[in-house]
Amino acid sequence: MPIGTPPSATALSHPLDIDLLVEAGQWPDEKVLRQFVERSAGAAFAEIGSAWSGQSELSIVFSDDANIRELNAGWRGKDKPTNVLSFPAFPTSGGGPLPPMLGDIVLAFETVSLEAELEEKPIENHISHLVIHGLLHLLGYDHETDAEAEAMEAVERAALARLAIPDPYA
């Protein structure tokens, strides 16, 4: 499934220096991926950013199922691929100064592509959603309880709406 250029939109600022790596998988050009990540991070911080100050570094890796399966097995004890993993460099919660390194987000091409296809949504939208989801995990959000899931999903929905992306939970 070809991936196009993200729709043009007003640039949304964010406090991150983004290090992007295309490690494996049939991802689009790095320039296109960078646009997705920049816009997604900007939308997330537009929703919650006033609570955070300073600059931080974010690493995002576009990989494949084989690599993410190894990470998932090693770090979470789940020997299967998943769509996105987040690895915080420092504990964060509720605002304040950002740490110098926020952490890593890793996406798996095959799983992301299949989910987008099964859910009949553009893969561009799914990538943006997963980047926002992963970033929120690095900022201390979680979905272990119903209340946590509701709070996290509310931020995701609002951030995606800023990008004109439909609610992925609808």
Does residue 34 sit within a domain?
yes
* pLDDT band per the 50, 70, 90 thresholds, residue 13: confident
Does residue 8 sit within a domain?
no
Q: Where are the beta strands (DSSP E) in the chain?
A: 16-22, 52-53, 56-63, 84-88, 96-97, 101-108
Does residue 116 sit within a domain?
yes
Q: How many domains does the chain have?
A: 1
Look up residue 75 and give its amino acid. Answer: W
Does residue 9 sit within a domain?
no
Q: How many CA atoms lie within 13 A of 122 on its CB side?
A: 14
Residue 122: which CATH number?
Answer: 3.40.390.30
Does residue 10 sit within a domain?
no
Does residue 152 sit within a domain?
yes
What is the reported pLDDT for 93?
75
Does residue 6 sit within a domain?
no
Is the pTM value of this prediction over 0.85? yes
Q: What is the mean pLDDT of the chain?
A: 90
Examine the pLDDT at 5 and tell me if it is beyond 50: no
Percentage of the chain beyond pLDDT 70 is 92
What is the reported pLDDT for 10?
47
- Which domain covers residue 103, as residue numbers? 16-162
Q: Give 52-101 pLDDT, tens digit per residue.
A: 888 899 999 999 999 999 999 999 999 999 999 999 999 887 778 899 99
Examine the pLDDT at 152 and tell me if it is beyond 50: yes
- Residues 109 and 26: beta-carbon distance below 8 Å: yes
For residue 91, CA distances in Å to 37, 146, 148 come to: 22, 22, 17
Read off the pLDDT of each residue in 25-51 and give the average, rounded to a whole number. 91
Q: Give 91-128 pLDDT, tens digit per residue.
A: 887 778 899 999 999 999 999 999 999 999 999 999 99
Q: Give 124-147 pLDDT, tens digit per residue.
A: 999 999 999 999 999 999 998 999
